């Protein structure tokens, strides 16, 4: 099996959306028995706005002169814990990049239930679709802790887009990659069993928010089992059953709203298993 790289503390290896790679700041931290290497990248005051634009999957690969023009459009914004950045139905008038802190992307059902869709941390950029089409937001975004953002306003960005043909072509290519990624997500929902989807989501959470500890890696987020299930598209009852079983097997440790991954290879093997092969 190919070696998997995990970048803890909210950082990630950019892949299917284009761009990325490991900077020289990353160093190997530990190798667990399953042969999966973890890379430690301690935060040092968050990510700077200009550097985030240059290294983001959205803009990486563009000429320096275009990146400089984009960077001049950025505006900083701060949120306190619990502040709402936008709600579903709000105008899609800006793109956001997280410099420090974390936000919940979530949706409210008509019966009052709240579904967690994603968690954005330092280096993540979101709202790029609204930046182009200007349609209303499809979910809520709420600060988990103190957050510092950079913002690109749609009207100013579109003015630049009209003048820079290379930027337009770059975004079209990115849209194609995004469609391919969405196709992969649909395939997961169609062909992966519930435990496979759950294992894959736990590994993804560890990749984005993992902190290496003795004997494993802790997902550095307070997540209920219901929230983990929502992220994987699995019911709370099914999530509870599999997490408890994996805990008995020694693959994970469950604490109060905290999960520690203890044996990564079995989880990876399960995540690679198609529906019907292993329940």
Residue located via tokens 């990659």: 177
Distance CA 145, CA 102 (A): 6
- Domains of the chain plus CATH, in order, are 5-42+192-271 (1.10.10.10), 49-181 (2.60.120.10)
Q: State residue 6's pLDDT score.
A: 37
SS3 (DSSP) at 236: helix
The 10s digit of each residue's pLDDT in 258-269 is: 899 999 999 999
The overall average pLDDT reported for the chain is 77
The 10s digit of each residue's pLDDT in 225-260 is: 888 888 888 888 999 999 999 999 999 999 887 899
Distance CA 119, CA 143 (A): 10
Residues 6+ apart with CB under 8 A from 252: 202, 243, 246, 259, 260, 261, 262, 263, 267
pLDDT of 78 higher than 70: yes
Higher pLDDT, 273 or 137: 137
Higher pLDDT, 88 or 3: 88
Mean pLDDT of 93-113: 84
The 10s digit of each residue's pLDDT in 158-209 is: 999 899 999 888 888 877 877 887 787 787 777 888 999 999 989 988 887 8
The 10s digit of each residue's pLDDT in 15-50 is: 322 333 222 222 233 333 333 333 333 333 455 556
60: confidence class by pLDDT, cuts 50, 70, 90: confident
Mean pLDDT of 69-84: 93
Q: State residue 44's pLDDT score.
A: 37
Higher pLDDT, 32 or 71: 71
Higher pLDDT, 71 or 3: 71
pLDDT of 5 higher than 60: no
Share of the chain above pLDDT 70, in %: 77
Number of C-alpha atoms within 13 angstroms, CB side, residue 103?
Answer: 30
Residues 6+ apart with CB under 8 A from 114: 106, 107, 108
Mean pLDDT of 129-133: 80
Q: State residue 80's pLDDT score.
A: 97
Distance CA 153, CA 117 (A): 24
Q: State residue 225's pLDDT score.
A: 85
Q: State residue 7's pLDDT score.
A: 33
pLDDT of 214 higher than 90: no
Q: State residue 207's pLDDT score.
A: 85
Sign of CA dihedral 10, 16, 19, 25: positive
> Based on the number of CB atoms within 10 Å of its own CB, is 113 exposed (0-12), middle (13-18) or buried (19 or more)?
exposed
Higher pLDDT, 68 or 182: 68
């Amino acid at each position: 099996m190919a070696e998997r790289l995990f970048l803890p503390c909210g950082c990630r290896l950019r892949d299917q959306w284009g761009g990325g790679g490991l900077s020289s700041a990353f160093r190997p931290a530990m190798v667990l028995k399953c042969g999966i290497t973890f890379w430690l990248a301690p935060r040092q005051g968050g990510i700077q706005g200009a550097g985030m634009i240059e290294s983001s999957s959205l803009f990486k690969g563009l000429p320096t002169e275009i990146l400089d023009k984009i960077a001049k459009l950025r505006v900083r914004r701060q949120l306190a814990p619990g502040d709402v950045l936008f709600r579903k139905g709000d105008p899609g008038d800006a793109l956001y990049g997280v410099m420090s802190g974390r936000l919940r992307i979530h949706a409210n059902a008509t019966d009052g239930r709240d579904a967690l869709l994603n968690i954005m941390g330092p280096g993540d950029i979101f709202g790029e679709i609204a930046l182009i089409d200007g349609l209303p937001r499809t979910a809520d975004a709420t600060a988990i802790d103190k957050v510092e953002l950079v913002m690109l306003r749609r009207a100013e960005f579109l003015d630049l887009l009209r003048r820079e043909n290379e930027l337009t072509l770059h975004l079209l290519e990115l849209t194609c990659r995004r469609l391919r990624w969405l196709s992969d997500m649909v395939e997961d929902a169609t062909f992966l069993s519930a435990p496979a989807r759950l294992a894959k989501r736990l590994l993804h959470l560890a990749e984005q928010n993992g902190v290496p500890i003795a004997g494993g890696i802790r997902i550095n987020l307070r997540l209920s089992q219901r929230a983990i299930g929502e992220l994987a598209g699995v019911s709370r009852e099914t999530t509870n059953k599999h997490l408890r079983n994996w805990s008995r097997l020694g693959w994970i440790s469950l604490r109060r709203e905290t999960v520690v991954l203890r044996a990564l290879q079995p989880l990876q093997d399960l995540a690679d298993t198609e529906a019907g092969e292993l329940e």
